[in-house]
Chain A
Amino acid sequence: METKSSPWKKIAAIIAAILLITGIALIFMLPAPQTRHYPKRIEVRFWHMWTGEWASVVDNIAQEYNRNQTKYEVVPLSVPSSAADTKFLLAVSGGNPPDLMAQWNPVIPSWADKKLLTPLDEMMTPAEWKEFQNTAYPVAKKIGIYKGKLYGVTTGTNVWALYYNPKHLREAGLDPNKFPKTLEELMKWGDKLNRYDKRGNLVRMGFLPGWLAEYAPIFDGGFYDFKSNKLTLNSPQNLRALTFLVDARKKIGYNNVVRFESGLLSSSNGSGDWPFIKDFYSIALDGQWRVEEIRKLAEDTKKNGGPWDFEYGTAPVPPPTGGKSAAGFADGNFLVIPRGAKQARGAWEFIKFWSGIEKPERAAKFYTWGGWMPINAKVANAPAYQKYVRENPQFKTFLDLMPSENLEPSPPVSYQIFLVDRIGRTDDFATRGSLTPEQALKTLEHDIAAEQARRKEYRYDVN
């Protein structure tokens, strides 16, 4: 059955076909998004999760490396952080992993356990490995080593300390130069610094102690004994820490705290929206990267002709009676080489270059570009790094924490993400008052024991 089609339809069909063909042709004609600067060299494919300004810093480090030698070209690729782990896993299982990846999620134990990562100590000479063990900061080893093997080299550890606003302190009659030496005293300062509006809503928080993973080590607790390699979930110290956090929230009123916190702009928006800088906190716990962010913000504001009179100081979290000083949670950025990486050697050379395992004086500069904590004292003492600390005196508080044995990353067990999630739930249920601190820690212990039993049944690793 033939129907007479209108000429317009024919014309439309022809135009559509031409457009389609042109479109497809264009796709092939467009240049590849990543252009190589040194096409004759061996390509080292490097995935990371930084974006914006941070991505530029990483690009610059890669370029510096590429200029510094003639064999390899490190080609960085920013992968969206929400999909990075999945992409990595699929790439490894598909047999086409990148040569190097920068990570900050707690993945080393589980990935190492699944044999996805190259043991980096095997890439080192015995002398290098010995040197690494002797010089790397304890926290860098805790993050990077799993079951005696090194899987990740930290290029920036994150540590937390207190930022305080001296103006607020002086207004409340407190002397910034006599910052509290005990947590109990700090809490009293916090009370004096709280400000409420007429309706009784909190408008400025003096000090609110944060989360359990940070405070457990400060109370001489923590979730893992790195000496005996055992979990320590429901310890009296952890209970003390959790009780302390719960009490602090109870005092202000849980709803008040939530209302106050959710009214703040997201601090991940950038330094300009950080509630501390916006005067919503007088004393706030935060990571060392804020120092660099504030420095950049000040620089930009001045450049744009704006006034800049923001004043701040930093101090370590003072321990409670019977607690530990220079303690707290730590995590960091680290570099891993997937198993099956085609250019593992090139990736390793770049790791040495960036981290400062080789020539720490040269690498110190890279750490200052990102305001990152060094991997060892050699980098920290290098002139470039010291200059940075002199220019940003607030940074010293964080740097002084680095040699501490009391910094605790997430426990290196093969089900680390599961455990981290469960610790988060413990925190959530207790600080919201649904479970008492005792019940919350008991639940945590029970849940983890159940998971271990299941893993045993499945013949997985339970450590």
Chain B
Amino acid sequence: MKKRSAKTIRNLTGYAFIAPWLIGFLVFTAGPFIASIFLSFTRYDIISTPVWVGAANYKELLTGDPIFWKSLLVTFKYAAVAIPSGIIAGVALALLLNMELKGISVYRTIFFIPSIVPVVATSVVFVWILNPNSGLVNSILLRFGIMGPNWLQDKNWALWSLIFMSLWGVGGSMIIYLAGLKDIPIQLYEAAMIDGANAWQRARHITIPMLTPIIFFNLVMGTIGAFGTFTQAFVMTQGGPEDSTMFYSLYLFNRAWRYLDMGYASAMAWILFVIIMIFTGIIMKSHRKWVHYGN
């Protein structure tokens, strides 16, 4: 009896300590998350009571809203290019920064710093960098006699500009890859070298396979992140030109806060949730085939 009460007290103390987070989570995350299931079947403008409309929001989204499909396509395109290129750039950088050079930690810091700059600040800077007339990118191109495009104002280039910009923040994943590289047992390389493996073979058969758990982690996080891309487009292009950067989350935001169409936006959020779950599920399912845990 005494033992149990002591245990209860200990448990309660534990809960009391995590209560600030727990309450915050329940009130600000779990609550709205669950409420949005109901709201997605209603018309709701924040102010008045939600009115049940059945599956009308979903029907309209799937059959009558071209911008919904366009925003989905934009987001898919972005994810399809930005995620793999982020992984390639991240791994490549980590490999480079894994070399034992004098002052390597300085280089590591330099490459990591951009990832801790808030996206809003980066976006504002990139608006300048990508300015077609006076921007850094086009000024450099001009030195080589190339007339750079109207990056953010050209519908064929705007999305690519944002993908290009996404590589700027690759330092965050790079640092995780770097930690992964440091974790690869040295004896594997030694054994390979004794067997006469060259640098490429070592990279191909040891480094990359041993990094796959990290790549897997970054792939999952990157997928979730890419489908939620919002800030860059909100700050830099507002979805334009001609909806070429109308990301799903941006359109969702517009529906929710510009048009006060919370029911519709909730339905959008749930469709996005299902899409992300499907993709994450596929990645999870496939991981047995390509992720090596070294044992």
Contact = CB atoms under 8 A, between A and B. Distances in A.
Interface in B153-190: 153-155
Nearest to B56: A457
Given A262-B131, A263-B134, A432-B242, A458 B51 contact: yes
A433 to B, nearest CB: 10
Contacts of A429: 242
A92 B257 CA distance: 15
B53 interface: yes
A434 B64 contact: no
A93 B46 contact: yes
Contacts of A263: 131-134
A278 interface: no
A415 interface: yes
A114 B51 contact: no
B292 to A, nearest CB: 37
B18 to A, nearest CB: 18
B153 A114 contact: no
A40 to B, nearest CB: 34
A458 B150 contact: no
A417 interface: yes
Contacts of B213: none
Contacts of B150: 255, 258-259, 262
Contact of A432 (B152, B241, B260): B241
The A contact surface, by secondary structure, is helix
A168 to B, nearest CB: 21
A394 B149 CA distance: 39
Contact of B53 (A258, A260, A432, A458): A458
A253 to B, nearest CB: 12
Contacts of B1: none
A459 interface: yes
A263 B260 CA distance: 35
B64 A454 contact: yes
A203 to B, nearest CB: 10
B157 to A, nearest CB: 11
A460 interface: yes
B240 A262 contact: no
Contacts of B43: 458, 460
A415 B43 CA distance: 14
B241 to A, nearest CB: 6
Given A262-B131, A434-B242, A459 B51 contact: yes
Given A262-B131, A263-B131, A110 B260 contact: yes
Contact of B132 (A85, A89, A116, A262): A262
Contacts of B243: 425
B155 A432 contact: yes
A124 interface: no
A342 to B, nearest CB: 18
A90 interface: yes
Interface string A246-276: 0000000001001110110000000000000
Interface string B244-259: 0000000000100111
A226 interface: no
Contact of A89 (B46, B60, B131, B134): B46
B56 A89 contact: no
A262 B56 contact: no
Interface string A86-97: 100110110000
A361 interface: no
A458 B241 contact: no
Contact of B133 (A93, A262, A425, A434): A262
Contacts of A114: 45, 47-48, 260
B258 A421 contact: yes
B132 A259 contact: yes
A418 interface: yes
Interface string B118-135: 000000000000011110
A116 B45 CA distance: 11
A15 interface: no
Contacts of B56: 454, 457-458
Contacts of B152: 262
Contacts of A457: 53, 56
A432 B154 CA distance: 9
A428 interface: yes
A454 B60 contact: yes
A172 interface: no
Contacts of A434: 155, 242
A71 to B, nearest CB: 31
Contacts of B64: 450, 454
Contacts of B154: 255, 258
Interface in A107-123: 110, 114-116
B257 A428 contact: no
Contacts of A92: 47
Interface string A421-442: 1000100110010100000000
Interface in B49-65: 51, 53, 56, 60, 64
Given A260-B133, A428-B242, 6 more contacts: A110-B260, A114-B45, A415-B259, A434-B242, A454-B60, A459-B51
20 contacts: A86-B257, A90-B46, A92-B47, A110-B260, A114-B45, A115-B47, A115-B48, A255-B150, A255-B154, A258-B150, A259-B132, A259-B133, A418-B259, A425-B242, A428-B241, A432-B242, A454-B60, A457-B56, A458-B51, A460-B43
Interface of A: 85-86, 89-90, 92-93, 110, 114-116, 255, 258-260, 262-263, 415, 417-418, 421, 425, 428-429, 432, 434, 450, 454, 457-460
Going nearest first, the 7 A-B pairs with the smallest beta carbon separation are A263-B133, A458-B43, A258-B153, A258-B150, A93-B47, A259-B132, A418-B259
